[in-house]
Structure 1
Amino acid sequence: MLQAYTTEAQVGYYKAALVLAEFLWLAPKAVQSVMIQSASELWHRDRIDRITNLASKATRYTLLLTTLLAIGIAVLSAEFVPRYYGSEFEPTIAPLLLLLPGTVGFAVARPILSVSHARGDMRIMILATGAAATMNLLLNVALIPRFGIEGAAIATSLGYISLPLFHLWGAKRIGYNPLGDVRPVAVAITTVGTAAVLVGVTLGIEYAIPPTLLTIGIPFVGSLSIGATLVAFVLIPRWVSSSTRL
C-alpha cells in the first residue's frame, strides 16, 4: 500500500523504522521460545496457579524491559538515526517514534502467545491474532492514503497494541490470567521516572557535550535511574516489610 500511495524513498524510510523498532523484540523472542516448554509441562500437570504466576512474571518483566528500551530509543532517535543510516534518513524518525508503543505491545503479547500456544488450543489463538490482523489491515486502508508512512506507522502500532488485548481475552478463555502479578504501579513508576530523568538530562546537556558522548551517556544515566528506582520502590519496601515481620 505504501508503494501505491508514496514514493520508493518513503517506503525505504518506513522499512528503516521497522528494522530499528524490531530490535526491541530480541529479548521477548528469547522469552517466548523458552517459556513454551515450561508452560507445556505445567499444562500437562494442570497447574493453573503456576501457569498464571509464570505468565504474569514474564509479562511484567517483558513490559518493563521493552518499555525502558523504547524510551531510550525515543530519546536518542534524533541523534542515533542519522548516525546509523545517514543524514538523508531523518524522515525515518517520525514513523519510528510512532511505532515504538506498538512494538512494546507486540513484545508484551509474546509471553502470552507462548503460554497459550503450549496449551494447544489453536482456535482461540487464531481468533485473537486474526482480530488484531484485521484491525491492522483496516487501519492501514484508512490511514495510509491520507498520512503516508506516518499513517502506516500509526496503523501498525495500534494493530500491535491490540494483539496483547485480544490474546488477554484468549488467555482468560483458556483459563489463566497473564496479568495476575504485573504490578502496574511499580512498572509505571519505574518507566515514568526513567523517562523523566532521560528527557531532562538530554534537554539539559545536548548543547553542552558532543552528540557521540550524549549517545553513550544516556544509556548509562538510564541504568542509574532504573537502579535507583528499583532500590527506592522495590528493595527498600521489601526490606522494611521483612524487618517488620521479624
Structure 2
Amino acid sequence: MKLRRTLSPPRGRFSTHVVWTFAARVLMAVNSVITGIIIARWLGAGGLGVYAVLSVAVANAVQFGGAGLASANVYFIARERQHLAPAALNTLVFSVVTGGALALIVVGLAALKPALFGDIPLGLLAVAVAATPFHLISLLSLNIFLVEGRVDRYVLLDLLGQSFILINAVLVLLVFGAGLRQLVFLNTVTLVVVGIGIAWVMYRYLKKQGVVAAWRLDVGLFRRMMRYGIKYNVLMIATMLVLRADLLIVNVFRGATEAGVYSVASQGALMLLMLPTVIASLLFPRVAAERDAAGKMTCRVTQQTVLVMLIACLAAVPASFALPVLYGASFADSTIQLLILLPGVYLFGLESILVQHFVGTGLPRVILLFWAATVLISIVLNLALVPLFGARGAAVSSTLSYSLIFTLVIVYFRARTGNSFASILLPDMTQVRELIALLRPQNFLSRRV
C-alpha cells in the first residue's frame, strides 16, 4: 500500500513561512549588495563586472546540471512520501556526476570560444565553475527540507551558506588586501565545504525519519523524475536566460565596465523579485500535494502579490537614486536602467506566482513553448538594442520580455481554470485587510494566507 500524505505545512503557517523565508532572502540580498559594494570600491566596475559574469556562469551551470531534478523531488515527494529517500539519492548521485561534467563543458567552451566570456581568464573561470557539483548538492538537499515542510532548516542552512559570500569578500579584500583571484578561489572552497555539510545534515534528517532503509537508487522513479525534471529545467533555463543573458550580452558588446554598472540595476530588479520567488517556492509543493485544478489557491496568492509588488516597485523608484551614492559616481546610469526595468519586474513577479499552478499540476508543454518564444524574442531584442544603446537597451529588452511572458501565462491560466482576469488579479477588501493586518508587528507571524 502506498503511503500518501500532504507534505505542505498547515494553511495557518503559510504566511509565517513566507515571512521567515523572505526575511532570510532579504538578509541574503543585503549580503550580496554589501559584497558588490566592497568589490566595486576595491576592484572597480571592471572587477565587479568580471565577478558578476562568473556568478552568472556558475548559476547557469547549476541550472543546466540539475536537470530540474531538485524540483522533481518536490513534485514527486509532495504527492507520494514513499519517494523521499530514493528520490534524494537519485538526484544526489546524478547531480554530482552531471555537475562535474557541466563544469568541464563550460571550461571547454571558454577554451574553444574565449569571446563567450569576454576578457575573463580561463583559469579564473575554471576555479569558479569547479564548485558546480557541490552547489547542486546544496540545492537538492535544501529542497528536501522544503517539501518536508521543514522551512526552518531550509531557511537557516540556505542563509548560512550564502553568508560566506560576504564573509569571504571582507576577509580577502578588506582584511588581507588580496584580489579577485583569491576571492573566487575562497568562494569555491566554501561552496565545496557547505555542499558537503548540507548533504550530511540531510542524511541525518532522513535517518531520523526512519527512511534510510529505503536509501537506494530507483531507476523507474528516476525515469519519471527525469521526464518531469527536464521539462522543469527547460522552464528554469529559459527563465534564467531571460533574466540574466542580457548581462552577458552587455559584457560581450560593451565590456566588463558597462556590464558591472548594469549588474547593479539587474541586482536591484532581482531583489524586487525575491518576494514572489519566495511565495512561489512555498506555493509549489502545496499545489502539487492538493492538486487544485481550479487554481483557487493560486488566485488567492496572486491577488495579495499584486498589492505587495505594487508597494515594492513604487518604493524602488526613489530608492534607485541611491545606487550611485552606494556604488560610486561611475554607476550613475544604473538608476535609469533600474527605472526602465520596473514595469517588467512587476509583471514578472505576478507571472512567477501564476505559473506555479502549472508547475504543480504536471507542467504542460505549452508553458515551455511560451518560454521558448520569450527567450528567442529576448535574445533578438538584446542583440538589436545592446550594440546601439548599451545597458539601457538591455533594460528595455528585459521589460518587454517580462511583459510578454506574463501576458501569455495569464491568458492560458484563464483559459485552463475558467477564472476571470478580475478574480485572478483584483484583491477584494478582505485581501487588503489581511495584508494590512499581516504587516502589523503583533500579527506579523500569525496571519493566514
TM-score > 0.5 by shorter chain: yes
**What pairs with 1:12-161 in structure 2 (closer than 5 Å)?**
12-43=260-291, 47-49=292-294, 51=295, 53-78=296-321, 80-161=322-403
Equivalent position of 2:413 in the other structure = 171
CA distance in 2 between counterparts of 1:110 and 1:2 reads 25
CA contact (8 A) 1:17 1:96 kept: yes
CA distance in 1 between counterparts of 2:423 and 2:338 reads 30
CA contact (8 A) 2:304 2:427 kept: no
CA contact (8 A) 1:40 1:119 kept: yes
CA distance in 1 between counterparts of 2:366 and 2:257 reads 39
CA distance in 2 between counterparts of 1:121 and 1:68 reads 30
Shift in Å at residue 173 of structure 1? 4.8
Q: Deviations over 1:11-48 (max 9, x none)?
A: 111111101111012211111111112212332xxx54
Structure index of larger Rg: 2
The answer to whether the aligner puts 1:4 opposite 2:247 as a matched pair is no
Structure 1 residues 69 and 124, CA gap change in structure 2 (3 angstroms): same
- How high is the TM-score relative to the length of structure 2? 0.38
The alignment yields a C-alpha RMSD, in angstroms, of: 2.6
CA distance in 1 between counterparts of 2:287 and 2:376 reads 28
Question: What is the aligned residue count?
Answer: 185
CA contact (8 A) 1:56 1:179 kept: no
Equivalent position of 1:235 in the other structure = none
Structure 1 residues 139 and 103, CA gap change in structure 2 (3 angstroms): same
CA contact (8 A) 1:55 1:178 kept: no
Q: Which has the higher contact order (CA 8 A, sep 6+)?
A: 1
Structure 1 residues 177 and 141, CA gap change in structure 2 (3 angstroms): farther
Segments of 5+ residues of structure 1 without an aligned counterpart are 191-225, 228-246
CA contact (8 A) 2:414 2:421 kept: no
User: Percent same amino acid at aligned positions?
Assistant: 21
**Secondary structure, aligned partner of 2:332:** helix
CA distance in 1 between counterparts of 2:303 and 2:385 reads 32
**Secondary structure, aligned partner of 1:6:** helix
- Which amino acid counterpart does residue 64 of structure 1 have in structure 2? L
Equivalent position of 1:214 in the other structure = none
Which of the pair is proportionally richer in helix? 1
CA contact (8 A) 1:24 1:70 kept: yes
- Which amino acid counterpart does residue 70 of structure 1 have in structure 2? C
